[in-house]
Structure 1
Amino acid sequence: MNAPTPFPGKQHAQVAFHRTELNMILSLYGRFVAAGEWRDYGISHLKDVAVFSVFRRTAEHPMYRIEKRPALRLKQGQYVVLGMEGQILKRGNDLRQVLRVLERKLIRAVD
């Protein structure tokens, strides 16, 4: 059987989280679930951005969004954590450093 012929023109690759990035995010997510703070998540891989959304309940707006935008890596940093209202909580090129803004909230939630 012949392989399908790709559609002519530019192929648009999706931005996705790498396995190591996802491990860091899911590790943090698991700690918040264990603390009873977070209940659900969603992942979107789009043309320009990959988004990990965190929900307190399934049917509401995300509490936080962790985004990866490779086009911004030389400018503002490719990773960003956004709050519920869209405010930027932390931005940078090191995902571990960017996620620390949420880890501080976990420490307060456990106390």
Structure 2
Amino acid sequence: MSIEDFQSRDGFVVLKEAEFNNMMAFFKDYPENFAELLPIMTDNNSNYLCVYFTGYHRFQVAYLSHDEMDLTPIYPNISSLIQVINQYSECYDIEDIFKVQKAKN
């Protein structure tokens, strides 16, 4: 599944053009951190899911939290991210998915 086919829902909202452009302007101010990333989704709480479009992590998905900056990839690609979001339909954001997954392990 591609990002174009994904149906936004609470906690997983595909960025509209204006918000994408705003985030890209922010990213350009901090190229040492964000030069390889494109924002793709938000939880509407200043947290973003981003995809690496170039470099070593190309196509991998990272979580950009407003609380802590750790851009370690969390999923190998957008398709796997969407699969997980759909699998955990009861979860309201990516951090909730992390909690549920951790509890299962």
Larger Rg: 1
Task: Pick the TM interval, shorter chain.
Answer: 0.3 to 0.5
Q: Larger strand proportion, structure 1 or 2?
A: 1
Q: Larger helix proportion, structure 1 or 2?
A: 2
Give TM-score, length-normalised by structure 2. Answer: 0.42
Give TM-score, length-normalised by structure 1. Answer: 0.41
